[in-house]
């Protein structure tokens, strides 16, 4: 497990999270307004749809909790000749689960 350090230290299979929160209509409307997504299904109803771009906020929230040191270097080069050794690519898969309503 490489959690607790830099994002670039994460290895395949490392799990960070879960981070649980409630997605409210207010959050969806404010995010949509800030990003100029002026559609009725995002802002004009009481139960708006969440735009898919909200996933980026979730990723940042996970990184803040699981990798408190930040992103780390994006690429590493050899000091002697500046040859590129490693390029870091941020690839993540996030899964969502809708909270079941209590009956």
In tens, the pLDDT along 4-51 reads 788 878 888 888 877 777 778 888 888 888 888 888 888 778 888 888
Residues 58, 64, 68: CA angle, nearest 5 degrees: 160
- Whole-model pTM? 0.53
CA 64/CA 23 separation, integer angstroms: 18
Task: From 96, 68, 91, 77, select the one nearest 13 (Cα to Cα).
Answer: 91
E strands in the chain? 75-77, 84-87
Do the Cβ atoms of 28 and 36 come closer than 8 Å? no
């Amino acid at each position: 497990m490489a959690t607790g350090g830099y994002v670039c230290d994460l290895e395949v299979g490392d799990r960070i999270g879960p981070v649980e929160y409630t997605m409210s209509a207010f959050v969806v409307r404010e995010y949509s307004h800030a990003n100029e997504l002026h559609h009725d299904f995002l802002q004009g109803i009481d139960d708006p749809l969440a735009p898919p771009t909200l996933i980026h906020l979730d990723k940042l929230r996970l990184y803040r909790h699981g990798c408190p040191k930040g992103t780390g270097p994006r690429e590493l080069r050899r000091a002697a000749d500046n040859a590129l050794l490693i390029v870091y690519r941020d690839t993540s898969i996030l899964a969502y689960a809708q909270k079941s309503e209590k009956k």
